[in-house]
Structures are given as C-alpha cells and as structure tokens.
Amino acid sequence: MLPGGQIALKGYQFNLTDNCNFDREVQRDMYAQPELKLWGVFYQAEEEQTVQNFMGTLQQVINTFHIQCGPPALFPIQGGNRWPAWEEVMRKNLRPEVAAVICVIPGFKGKSPIYDDLKRFNYSTCPVPTQCVLASTLKKDRGLRSVVNKLVTQIVAKTGGCPWVCAQLPFMDGRSMVIGVDVFNKKGVDRVTGFCATTDKEMSRYVSFPQIGQAATGSNPFEEVVTDTFASFRHFNNGAYPNKVFVFRDGVSDGQKQDLMDNEVAFLRKALNEYVSKNSLPEPVKLMMIVVNKKISARFFHSSTPDLANPPSGTIVDSTVTSADSYDFYLVPTKGTQGVITPTHFHVLYDDTGVAPDDIKLLTYRMCYLYYNWSGSIRVPAPCQYAHKLAFAYGERAAGVNPPPASQYWKRTRNLYFL
C-alpha cells in the first residue's frame, strides 16, 4: 500500500488520505498562476443574460483563487449558432498577446454545431488558449460554481500555470524527465502520436506536440521529440539537460510489445545517444520505457474486513500473479466507490537507469494525481493521459484523412493548450 503523500498549492499542503476531499482542498491559491492581462469571453448575443450570470460566478472564483487579472472583454456574436459568424468575430479580435479566451458555445454535450470548427481554428490558425463551455451547462440551477472552478483551473493549466504539484515525488532532486506517449488510430484518418514531456523538477509543467502521420522510411520519429523536449527542459533548468528519461507508453496490446521494443525503444535509444554525441554531453542519458495497459481482466480484492472489498488506492501487486521473467506490476491508483475496481498493469519494457523499483512504483502512483482535468487520481500517470488527450484532440478533428496541422506558435510554446 503506497502512501499518497502530499499535494502542494501556493503556501498550503494537504495529505492524500482516503477521506480527504480533494476537490474542496484545491479551491485556494494555485501553485503557480500566470497573470491574465488580456483575455475575453465570446458568446451568442442571445445568451446575454446567461453570460452575465456566469460572469458573477466567474468573479467569485477568481477572488477565491486570487488570480491577478482585469475584467475580460466581452464579445457578443450575432447569429452565433453558425461557425462563420464566430470565425469572423474571432479573426477580427484575437491576436498572439491575448492570454486566453472563454467561448460560451451553443448546443449540448457532444452536439455543439461549432465545437469542432472552433478547435480546428484554434489548433491551426488562431493559437490562443481557448476554454469552451456550453451555454446549456451554465443555465443549470445547481453545480455552476463547481463547473466554473474546473473551468478556471483548466485556464491556468492551459496558459502555462500549475494548479497543484505532488510535494514528494521521487527523482525531484535530480534531472529527470517523464514523457507520456499515446497514439490515435482510426480507419481513414492519418495516425496521430501525442507526446507530452515534463520540463520542471516537480514534473508538473509540460511541452506537448502532436506528430501527424507515419515517419518517413529510414527517419527516426523520436529525433524531433528528443531535440525539442530537451531544448525546453534546458530552458527551464538553467541549461541543465535531463540525465534520466522515463517514458509511459499507452495504447499497446500484449502482442505489440516486441514490435515496440524493436522499433520505438530502439529509435528512442538511438535519438538519445545521438543527442549526447552531438552536444558533447559528459554522460549518457538513461532511459526507462514503461508500457501502460488499462484493458485487463485481472481484479483484486481486499480482505481486511469480514467482507471482501476493493483495495484502497495505492495498492501495488508485484509478485505471485506477475511475470516471473519480466519487470511488471499492477497498481490500483483510484478509490473504488461502486462496483469492482479495475487495476492498471505496468510493464517495464526497457531499463538502463538502475533506479530502485520501489521509486518507479511511487512515481507512477503519485503522478496519477497530476491530471488537471480531474480533482483526484486517474487510472494512468498524468503525462500519459495528456498524450492521449492531445492525440485524440487532433485525430477527432480530422477533415477527411488529414488531422489539422499544429500552428507554429504551439510548436514554440507547447503547453497544455489542448486540455
């Protein structure tokens, strides 16, 4: 049973215990909050009253988090149930220095008439961090404050801030980078690979970018990943480069593991070696590749009471039912409240780091608390979920075969704009 440790905000920490209310505890000054100097709200002109009510709750939340910002500019859109009307107003009023915008969009969950067009526009043409919320959601009588709390948290993460961190992660005293990798595959659409890599010692700030299509024959798909992520890491760490890289690779079935070993691991190891040689670094960069599998049939039960129960969060199973000739473990990262909980299976496919297995298990578990779209833990480490979200965001917005190309601005900044 691994301890959850502590979550740190600005000037405040709380312990991760089974009875802590994570959602309530994080409603205070965030760990790092960028100033919103220039921002705005776009909405249908017909939703004027809805937006005015929303603005009152938004101001309450801003006061709770003590975010430094002025009032947002308001942009009502005539005929706002059609994308061309939105595009015209946004092209006229958005420019690179805008910190963020909120778009109160028409429609219902999964059925907004402008959402996909807006996201394609945001990813490729107008790279301003954009947070969408349905007008129908803002009209609900209950839960508006909770919705706005999460909306503001996402804006902070999208604009380079950091809502919260784990106070006691392994490897925080060294130069370690964690990379999440996931792939979007859909028939008739070019493959999209999402990469999200940490750039700080708290492992809570990211560079992220999609790689669209298969790599050309003979090229190394990880060359760009290593070059760009290392450049960002050195920028935020006074020129120091990472000496250990931990990769969580999702979206791999058991039958694909050997292919992953022969291709991705080999390409990544080669890219790291070439980076060391090209930059005349004094020591090699060590690598660990961990395959993440959520689709498993294994179930575990806890028998501390007369009745069988779900295991508590942080439960590790690393013997008896694991492989005798490889390095794998099961983790229960979330709290089970209904039904039988499904653990996550982690298989260390490659490792030349020499780090202690217990440290890897603790890193894996605690990073499940660092996904800023959810208050609490999720089933995979946060970089893995960010990579999935990024690949899906581009793949699902494809026009025919082609996902939208990433704006050069995102390629330079590469934060969590897609969250």
Predicted confidence band of residue 217 (pLDDT cuts 50, 70, 90): low
pLDDT tens track for 15-51: 998 788 999 999 999 999 988 999 999 999 999 999 9
What's the pLDDT score for residue 99?
93
CB neighbour list of residue 226: distance below 8 Å, 6 or more residues apart: 268, 271, 272, 275
Q: Is the pLDDT of residue 216 over 70?
A: no
CATH 3.40.50.2300 in the chain, residue ranges: 33-158
Q: How far is CA 312 from CA 18, 40, 382, in A?
A: 8, 43, 20
Handedness of CA 27, 30, 33, 35 (dihedral sign): positive
Judging by DSSP bridges, how do beta strands 12-15 and 6-9 pair with one another? Answer: antiparallel
CATH 3.30.420.10 in the chain, residue ranges: 165-413
Predicted confidence band of residue 415 (pLDDT cuts 50, 70, 90): confident
Handedness of CA 48, 52, 58, 62 (dihedral sign): positive
Domain 33-158 fold: Rossmann fold (3.40.50)
Cα distance between residue 376 and residue 20, in whole Å: 10
Pick the CATH number of 165-413 from 3.30.56.10, 3.30.420.10, 3.20.20.70, 3.30.1330.40: 3.30.420.10
| % of residues, the chain, pLDDT over 90 | 73
Cα distance between residue 208 and residue 232, in whole Å: 10
Q: Is the pLDDT of residue 215 over 70?
A: no
Q: Is the pLDDT of residue 137 over 90?
A: yes
For residues 56-71, give the mean pLDDT: 93
Q: How far is CA 379 from CA 207, 266, 311, 332, 340, in A?
A: 22, 27, 14, 8, 14
Predicted confidence band of residue 399 (pLDDT cuts 50, 70, 90): confident
For residues 178-214, one letter each, b for 16 or more C-beta atoms within 10 angstroms of the residue's C-beta and e for the rest, the string is bbbbbbbeeeebbbbbbbbbbbbbbbbbbbbbbbbee
